Amino acid sequence: MSNEEISERLEQLRSQYALYKNRPFDITIARGIPSTDQLKLSEALLNETRIENWYSEDELDIRNYGGLFGLKEARELFGTLLNTQVEETFVGGNSSLQLMYATLVHFMYTAKDSWSKEEKVKFICPSPGYDRHWFMLDHLGIEMIPVELTGQGPDMETVEKLVAQDPAIKGMFVVPTYNNPTGETISDKSVARLANMFTAYEDFIILWDNAYVVHHLTDHKKEAADLLKACKEAGNENRVIQYVSTSKMTLPGSGVAAMGASEARINELALEFSKQIISFDKINQMRHVLFLKDRETIEEHMEKHAEILLPKFDWVDTILSAYFSGDRSTFVQWTKPEGGYFIHLTTQDGCATDIVEKMKAIGIELTPANAAYPYGINPKDNSIRLAPSFAKLDDLEIAMEALCTCIELVSLEKSLT
Ligand code: PLP
């Protein structure tokens, strides 16, 4: 486009934007929250699940204290998601993030050779990743090293180089299935490399946050290879700690979370938990066992979520595809995930922050630009996360049309500077 053509087009876009500004919306596509229709899928968890036997398979009275590791049947159920034996499975409270945070606090402060005794503690952060992981690390004073994701997991060459050289690098986060926000699933090759890589710090850990393990949107179900098994085969069985939760299967905030790792690691972490809690909510664990039953029932339940979610993801893709075709295709690239909760946009460099701010000014809230990078710092300023799950389809359509206008407006304005 010539500068004249750009100016003409900008005039149209500015008047469209002015219309939005005069009549601001109240829409959020900022966080990966299930919609009300999705929550309804699990009402039976509370209304129809009757606990008739108050004793678990391992003879715990679930109404009382005890059973820090979780009910045997809950450990079995979560073992089907974690590929772990009962002894390798710990079932906790309502949040996997809390289990991760407690894990980090343990290694940082209370483990035998706690990291805090050292001058610097660093973590590898595959990016764009989950902002709450980065908040945790930052809060604990752990230096974050971003490593780019490739579409099939982290850039393993960079990871291998870094961990081989620097003993201050104690671990890394990985979201193996349908990563938040890029939607990618780690390749089998990368799983093998993570299990086998040499690390300068001997007790290097991988926090394997499998939050979207059964959260498929299509029949093409992706599954990350079993890192714990690969670590055992490589002689590094204590390297990985896996996390899952039912937050986006049943009711977020009222679900159940679990960890899977070697028996030694599970015992070590259980000892840590024993200093802060007597036992978790076993009644909720039992309700979830009765409601979710087994892996097959979980998969069926998740198909109902997909039926509600998929039209929203398709709608976003359809609107972006229609708007950014031909000449406009250079303004933005986006992911077409087969699972998880997010769509990631890569804008032209230097545009993401302005686009998100422009959206905010017309009453549409997005996740802050570049939040998926450690410290929220992304020198390219080109990363926007969309979370289409909560909004109604009509609102999503309005938000996407406004977003397309803002993307083009900001990109063209930048092209003139
Ligand atoms: N991990 C990832 C990657 C997530 O995207 C989320 C929620 O969005 C969570 C963990 C939160 O899990 P929980 O509710 O079990 O703490």
181 belongs to a structural domain: yes
Question: Residue 355's pLDDT is what?
Answer: 98
Same domain, 82 and 97: yes
Question: Residue 288's pLDDT is what?
Answer: 98
Same domain, 258 and 317: no
User: In the listed set 236, 261, 293, which residue is the last one of a domain according to the structure?
Assistant: 293
Cα of 32 from ligand 1 centre, angstroms: 9
The residues facing 383 across adjacent strands are 346
Q: What is the ipTM of this complex?
A: 0.99
361 near 21, Cβ under 8 Å?
A: yes
**Closest approach atom of ligand 1 to CA 32:** 8
36 belongs to a structural domain: no
Cα of 257 from ligand 1 centre, angstroms: 10
45 belongs to a structural domain: no
Q: Which residues line ligand 1 (CB under 6 A)?
A: 32, 95-97, 130, 175, 180, 209, 211, 245, 247, 252, 257
Same domain, 235 and 368: no
**pLDDT of residue 327 exceeding 90:** no
Cα–Cα distance measured from residue 324 to residue 330, given in angstroms and rounded to the nearest whole number = 8
Q: Provide the CATH number for the domain around residue 211.
A: 3.40.640.10
Nearest-CA residue for ligand 1 atom 1 is 211
pLDDT (tens digit per residue) in 20-66: 999 889 999 998 999 999 999 999 999 999 999 999 999 999 999 99
- The band of 129, judged by pLDDT with boundaries at 50, 70 and 90, is very high
Which residue among 209, 241, 249 is best mutated to probe the pocket of ligand 1, counting the most ligand atoms within 8 A of its Cβ?
Answer: 209
Cα of 395 from ligand 1 centre, angstroms: 24
Domain count within the chain? 2
Cα of 96 from ligand 1 centre, angstroms: 7
Same domain, 281 and 163: yes
Question: Residue 292's pLDDT is what?
Answer: 98
**Closest approach atom of ligand 1 to CA 247:** 14
pLDDT (tens digit per residue) in 172-202: 999 999 999 999 999 999 999 999 999 999 9
Same domain, 237 and 174: yes
Same domain, 281 and 201: yes
Number of Cβ within 10 Å of residue 158's Cβ equals 16
| Average pLDDT value for residue range 405-411 | 98
Tokens describing residue 334: 């986006």
Cα of 119 from ligand 1 centre, angstroms: 30
Same domain, 178 and 113: yes
Cα–Cα distance measured from residue 208 to residue 74, given in angstroms and rounded to the nearest whole number = 20
Which residue among 38, 78, 94, 130 is best mutated to probe the pocket of ligand 1, counting the most ligand atoms within 8 A of its Cβ?
Answer: 130
Q: Provide the CATH number for the domain around residue 381.
A: 3.90.1150.10
250 belongs to a structural domain: yes
Same domain, 274 and 330: no
pLDDT (tens digit per residue) in 210-228: 999 999 999 999 999 999 9
Question: Residue 119's pLDDT is what?
Answer: 96
Cα of 331 from ligand 1 centre, angstroms: 30
Cα–Cα distance measured from residue 120 to residue 141, given in angstroms and rounded to the nearest whole number = 9
Same domain, 148 and 275: yes
Same domain, 205 and 59: yes
Cα–Cα distance measured from residue 272 to residue 47, given in angstroms and rounded to the nearest whole number = 35
Does the model's pTM come out above 0.90?
yes
40 belongs to a structural domain: no
77 near 292, Cβ under 8 Å?
A: yes
Please state the three-class secondary structure of the chain as a single string: CCHHHHHHHHHHHHHHHHHHHHCCCCEEECCCCCCHHHHHCCHHHHHCCCCCCCECCCCCECCCCCCCCCCHHHHHHHHHHHCCCHHHEEECCCCHHHHHHHHHHHHHHHCCCCHHHCCCCEEEEEECCCHHHHHHHHHCCCEEEEEEECCCCECHHHHHHHHHHCCCEEEEEECCCCCCCCCCCCCHHHHHHHHHCCCCCCCCEEEEECCCCCCECCCCCCCCCCHHHHHHHCCCCCCEEEEEECCCCCCCCCCCEEEECCHHHHHHHHHHHHCCCCCCCHHHHHHHHHHHCCHHHHHHHHHHHHHHHHHHHHHHHHHHHHHCCHHHHHCEEECCCCECCCEEEEECCCCHHHHHHHHHHCCEEECCCCCCCHHHCCCCCCEEEECCCCCCHHHHHHHHHHHHHHHHHHHHHHHHC
Q: How many residues does the chain have?
A: 417
Cα of 265 from ligand 1 centre, angstroms: 22
The residues facing 408 across adjacent strands are none
44 belongs to a structural domain: no
Q: Which amino acid is at 351?
A: C
The whole domain housing 377 covers 3-30+299-416
Which residue among 134, 137, 172, 180 is best mutated to probe the pocket of ligand 1, counting the most ligand atoms within 8 A of its Cβ?
Answer: 180
143 belongs to a structural domain: yes
Same domain, 197 and 286: yes
Same domain, 58 and 84: yes
43 belongs to a structural domain: no
User: In the listed set 244, 269, 293, which residue is the last one of a domain according to the structure?
Assistant: 293
pLDDT (tens digit per residue) in 350-381: 999 999 999 999 999 999 999 999 999 999 99
User: In the listed set 239, 272, 293, which residue is the last one of a domain according to the structure?
Assistant: 293
